[in-house]
Structure 1
Amino acid sequence: MEIPDHVGPRPVPPPFMWACRECTRWLLRLARTWDDPEGCFWEQLQTAQHIAEAHPDDVPPQHLDDCELCPDYARRGDADAAGVWAQHRARDLFMPPSIARLL
């Protein structure tokens, strides 16, 4: 997934991410691959997965604005959907909303 120029600025990750060695490692990998033609899709997924698993209390709440995916995730009751939904919301911590909300 190549990141188009019009996606908006990347948010500054919150302090807990810089205090965590694993988060910092994924953030740095993401930064190095941001402009690669191959994109940084893997790094996005791994960063979100790590946050959802290691920092569940820091995952943002459900998007209450125009997010098309949150209502679908909220309706599903299985553990797999809950994990993917947490990853979806965690992406807001380090990706522009226009990209974070694609998955």
Structure 2
Amino acid sequence: MIGEPVEELPLPPPFMWSCIACELFLLRLARKWDDPAGCFWEQLETARHIVESHPGEVPPQHLDGCELCPEYARRGDDHAADVWAQHRARDLFMPPSLARLL
């Protein structure tokens, strides 16, 4: 993964630009994007905010061969449901190759 080229960041959807908190999370993510320590926490914070504050904007289950969605779907607990929603929300602001790692 390190040293491999990553696709460009997708253009976040309009709802994220009309939410001050989303804008702040996106700015934090952008500032840390090239940091050698990574931007893991910024990704998680952004996804968590989307799930909690914009649940209707979370994309549906990935039906294009995602390896994680079937595993999340099998689990029936609330924590897994939240993590699965965060997994899907990452598609809104991360390249697919990175968004689907968690």
Query: In the TM superposition, what are the counterparts of 1:29-40 in structure 2 within 5 Å?
Result: 29-40=28-39
Contact persistence 1:88–1:100 (CA under 8 A): yes
Tell me the equivalent position of 1:26.
25
Aligned equivalents of 2:99, 2:63: Cα separation in 1: 15
Aligned equivalents of 1:58, 1:3: Cα separation in 2: 31
Query: In the TM superposition, what are the counterparts of 1:81-100 in structure 2 within 5 Å?
Result: 81-100=80-99
> Which runs of 5 or more residues in structure 1 are unaligned?
none
Contact persistence 1:3–1:34 (CA under 8 A): no
The one-letter amino acid of 1:36's match is D
Aligned equivalents of 1:93, 1:54: Cα separation in 2: 14
Q: CA deviation at 1:65?
A: 0.7
Pick closer, same or farther for the CA change 1:83–1:3 going to 2, 3 Å.
farther
SS in 2 for 1:6: coil
Contact persistence 1:23–1:50 (CA under 8 A): yes
The one-letter amino acid of 1:64's match is L
SS in 1 for 2:16: helix
Cα distance per residue 1:16-48 (max 9 Å; x no partner)? 001011110000000000001111111000000
Q: Kindly report structure 1 stretches of 4+ aligned residues shifted beyond 2 Å.
A: 2-5
The one-letter amino acid of 2:43's match is Q
> Which runs of 5 or more residues in structure 2 are unaligned?
none
Identity of aligned residues (%): 73
Tell me the equivalent position of 1:6.
5
Q: CA deviation at 1:5?
A: 4.8
